[in-house]
Amino acid sequence: METQRRRTKILIKLNSVVTAVDQPVVSEVTQHVIIIPLLGLLSYTALTVARMRDLWAAVMLTGIYSFLGASWMLVLDAPDVAFTEAAVGAGISTVLMLATLSLTSRTAKPPNRFPWLAFVVVTLTGGALLYGTIDMPRYGQADAPVHNYPHPSYLEKAEHDIHMPNVVTAVLASYRGYDTLGETLVIFTAAVAVMMLMRSHTPGHAAEGHPAEERSSA
């Protein structure tokens, strides 16, 4: 009985939160006026980063790109995703890239030939992403899945399905398990890459890598 009463209170709170979040931050016309310039700036920033040889400026532009993306997501009424993009994309990622940049040169080497393999991979990936947008609902559609979820059934069935009293943990660790695993893998890979770069530039490691120089100097 106590559990049923607690679930009812949670459902009432969830409905109030959904009702509050369902109110748009800005009108639809204002959204279009803001979103179109933001998308243009995002595209221009991405092309500039791809063509730039100054690595320090490229790192700064990637931070600007993340802030533009966070602004775009905020206009689309996704403040949680915008906050994550601003914190991880513009914050942590920029710090990691600057730390890596301190161990390398500030200018990228010009390519010897056109990277056809990378061009083909990027083109195919972009085409697949554009093809995936065909099945997406129309922008602003009232009955789109994003407006109907999370469903209250997550609160009703999470404890029975996942055997966890914490619904947030059940969603992140089980219902969205693959998504959480991918995010964790990305952060782990970035941390390992930075650690390997920093280790390869330590004085002890450099001395171990050149025993012939030590013998000649002796």
pLDDT category of residue 127 using cuts at 50, 70 and 90: very high
pLDDT by residue (tens digit) across 170-207? Answer: 777 777 778 878 878 887 887 787 788 777 655 554 44
Cβ proximity of 147 and 22 under 8 Å: yes
The answer on pLDDT for 50 being more than 80 is: yes
The mean pLDDT value for 203-217 works out to 46
**83 vs 203 pLDDT, higher one:** 83
- Residue 218 has a pLDDT of 46
For residue 150, whether the previous peptide bond is cis, meaning omega lies within 30 degrees of 0, is: yes
Phi, psi of 201 (to 5 degrees): -110, 10
The mean pLDDT value for 26-54 works out to 82
The answer on pLDDT for 105 being more than 60 is: yes
The answer on pLDDT for 213 being more than 50 is: no
| Among 101, 8, 5, 116, CA closest to 56 | 101
**131 vs 89 pLDDT, higher one:** 131
**In the chain, domain spans:** 150-210
Query: Above pLDDT 70, what percent of the chain?
Result: 74
**76 vs 127 pLDDT, higher one:** 127
For 54, the 3-state DSSP assignment is strand
For the chain, what is the mean pLDDT?
A: 75
pTM > 0.85: no
